[in-house]
């Protein structure tokens, strides 16, 4: 896993933990976020946070298409790297 993916994953873990009122250490990044009770409204809020933080435009289903923080982090890193290419 690249450092970029790790940075995005750490940021995502922090956001998910905040919404779920847990510490980042309590979040297993390999489990589907829905197992923590993440609902569609929270998923949309996280998508909006991602758009604001990384200046991306995401389809609303992005968090459901990549159900774990690890999967979502990898997908976001790829989008960020693609956007940065000239």
Phi then psi for residue 51, to 5 deg, are: -60, -45
* pLDDT number for residue 85: 86
* pLDDT number for residue 36: 92
pLDDT reading at 13 higher than 90: yes
pLDDT reading at 66 higher than 80: yes
- Top pLDDT among 47 and 1 is at 47
For 24, half-sphere exposure in the C-beta direction (CA atoms, 13 angstrom radius) is: 8
Average pLDDT, the chain: 90
Q: What is the mean pLDDT of residues 36-45?
A: 89
- Top pLDDT among 34 and 4 is at 34
Q: Model's pTM, two decimal places?
A: 0.87
* pLDDT number for residue 25: 97
Q: Which two tokens stand for residue 39?
A: 């609902």
């Amino acid at each position: 896993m690249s450092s970029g993916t790790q940075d995005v994953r750490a940021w995502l873990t922090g956001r998910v933990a905040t919404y779920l009122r847990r510490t980042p250490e309590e979040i297993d990044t390999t489990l589907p976020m829905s197992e923590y009770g993440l609902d569609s409204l929270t998923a949309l809020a996280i998508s909006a946070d991602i758009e604001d933080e990384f200046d991306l435009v995401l389809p609303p289903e992005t968090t459901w298409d990549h159900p774990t923080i690890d999967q979502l982090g990898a997908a976001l890193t790829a989008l960020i790297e693609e956007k940065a290419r000239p």
